Every structure is written in structure tokens, then in C-alpha cells.
């Protein structure tokens, strides 16, 4: 069983909105961090947003004010509300969970922090 499954991707015009969902079969409420990452063709995977176990949120500078990360622990689902989308937001978006049993001291955006990954959902923004 895949522990994290993303959905909600699609094709939109610039200025549009999408909401991504990440359904978790693991107990994400026990995660240290849950995050969204993205990878555009030919580019490295980068952190988009994350939410810590205390509810504190983190965002990449490129999405601040446009994207909102949230988590519903009752149904083990992570969300990413994306508004004012730009062509440069086009990428494969991944959900990730830090379920490590130790305290990771690096950044929320470090790929190495996360030990569970989804398979991704494509977001395409046209100009």
C-alpha cells in the first residue's frame, strides 16, 4: 500500500487556482513535518511548503502569499491550496512525510528529512 497518494493536479491558466490533496495511509498526525515539494523538468526537486507537528508552517519565498498548506488529522490528509498560479509553478508536485524517530536538525526543505514520498501529481500552468 502506497503510504502517500497525491491528487488534485491539472492544467490551469495563469492566475487560476488548484487544491492538491495528499491522502495518507500512515498516521500523519505523528509526523514531525509534512511537506509539499515540486520538480520541474531539468530542475532539482525543491521545497514548496511544510507544516510542523506544532502547526507552524513554512513556505518557499516563491510561493509565499499565494499557497497555503494545511492538514486535517482526522482524515490523515494534507492539502496545498494554490492561488494566483504562474507558468513557473508548472511541475510535478510531491507530498512527503518526516516520520523519523529522531530529531532532524536541518531545514524543512531538506529532502533528506523526509522518509515517505508520494508518486506526484502534475500541475501545468499556461500563460
pLDDT of residue 1: 60
Mean pLDDT, rounded, of the chain: 94
What are the respective helix, strand and coil percentages of the chain, to the nearest 5? 5, 45, 45
Q: Which is higher by pLDDT, 56 or 30?
A: 56
pLDDT of residue 100: 86
The DSSP line for 39-64 is E-TTS--EEEEEEETTS-EEE-TTTT
What is the tens place of the pLDDT at every residue in 79-107? 999 999 999 999 999 999 998 877 888 89
Determine the Cα–Cα distance for residues 123 and 125; give it in Å rounded to an integer.
7
Amino acid at each position: 500500500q502506497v503510504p502517500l497518494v497525491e491528487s488534485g493536479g491539472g492544467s490551469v491558466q495563469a492566475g487560476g487556482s488548484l487544491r492538491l490533496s495528499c491522502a495518507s495511509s500512515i498516521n500523519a498526525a505523528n509526523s514531525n513535518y509534512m511537506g509539499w515539494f515540486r520538480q520541474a523538468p531539468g530542475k532539482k526537486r525543491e521545497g514548496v511548503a511544510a507544516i510542523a507537528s506544532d502547526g507552524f508552517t513554512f513556505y518557499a519565498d516563491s510561493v509565499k502569499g499565494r499557497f497555503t498548506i494545511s492538514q486535517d488529522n482526522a482524515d490523515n490528509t494534507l492539502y496545498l491550496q494554490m492561488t494566483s498560479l504562474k507558468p513557473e509553478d508548472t511541475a510535478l508536485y510531491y507530498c512527503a512525510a518526516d516520520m523519523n524517530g529522531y530529531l532532524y536538525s536541518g531545514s524543512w526543505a531538506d529532502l533528506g528529512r523526509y522518509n515517505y514520498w508520494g508518486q506526484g501529481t502534475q500541475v501545468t500552468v499556461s500563460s
